[in-house]
């Protein structure tokens, strides 16, 4: 993730972003068509998925979609999925912010939004938790895949 954030200063990534978007669309469609398919959750698979997610989070700012697809491919239980994603987001965003600050991407205007973004983050987490309790586990994976598909489609255009 730190490597991806550092490289973002030197590499124009339009084609890579399009390729990533096509990948998200393709794999989300695959898992929607084959709902019982899942990857083994071994150490190698989680390391590869986590590494790709971290790299793209820093490089393109879309690591969440890769992470979501990875965790959906592992068919994780919804509370484990959300808790894992939140913990990873915190670490990724904290380290990415430091690198972006060093690269000069942040200015005085950025800082005045931080308190509002923190409040929005906590409110969103609270609301999301309430919604998550109402979604049955068997629908959670499908909803996640549809959202990833929409992210991929939106990113292409």
List the domain boundaries for the chain: 2-156
Please name the residues in contact with 78: beta carbons below 8 A apart, sequence gap of 6 or more.
132, 135, 137, 140
62 pLDDT more than 70: no
Within 10 Å of residue 96's Cβ, how many Cβ atoms? 22
More confident site: 77 or 29: 29
Mean pLDDT across the chain: 82
Q: What residue has token string 């990833």?
A: 148
Which residue, among 14, 154, 5, has the nearest Cα to 94 in the 3D structure? 5
pLDDT of residue 1: 54
E strands within the chain? none
pLDDT range class, residue 50, cuts 50, 70, 90: confident
10 band by pLDDT with thresholds 50, 70 and 90: low
| Model confidence pLDDT, tens digit, residues 83-114 | 888 887 788 778 878 888 888 888 888 788 88
Statement: residue 52 has pLDDT above 90: no
pLDDT at 22 over 80: yes
What would the two tokens of residue 60 be?
């393109």
* The model scores a pTM over 0.75: no
């Amino acid at each position: 993730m730190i490597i991806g954030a550092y490289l973002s200063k030197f590499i124009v990534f339009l084609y890579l972003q399009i390729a990533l978007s096509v990948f998200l669309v393709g794999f989300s469609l695959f898992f929607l068509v084959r709902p019982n398919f899942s990857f083994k959750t071994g150490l190698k698979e989680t390391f590869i998925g986590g590494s790709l997610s971290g790299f793209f989070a820093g490089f393109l700012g879309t690591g969440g979609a890769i992470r979501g697809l990875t965790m959906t491919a592992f068919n994780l239980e919804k509370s484990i999925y959300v808790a894992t994603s939140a913990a990873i987001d915190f670490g990724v965003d904290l380290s990415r912010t430091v690198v972006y600050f060093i690269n000069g991407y942040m200015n005085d205007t950025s800082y005045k939004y931080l308190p509002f973004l923190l409040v929005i983050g906590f409110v969103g987490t609270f609301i999301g938790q309430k919604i998550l309790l109402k979604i049955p586990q068997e629908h959670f994976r499908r909803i996640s895949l549809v959202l990833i598909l929409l992210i991929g489609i939106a990113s292409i255009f």
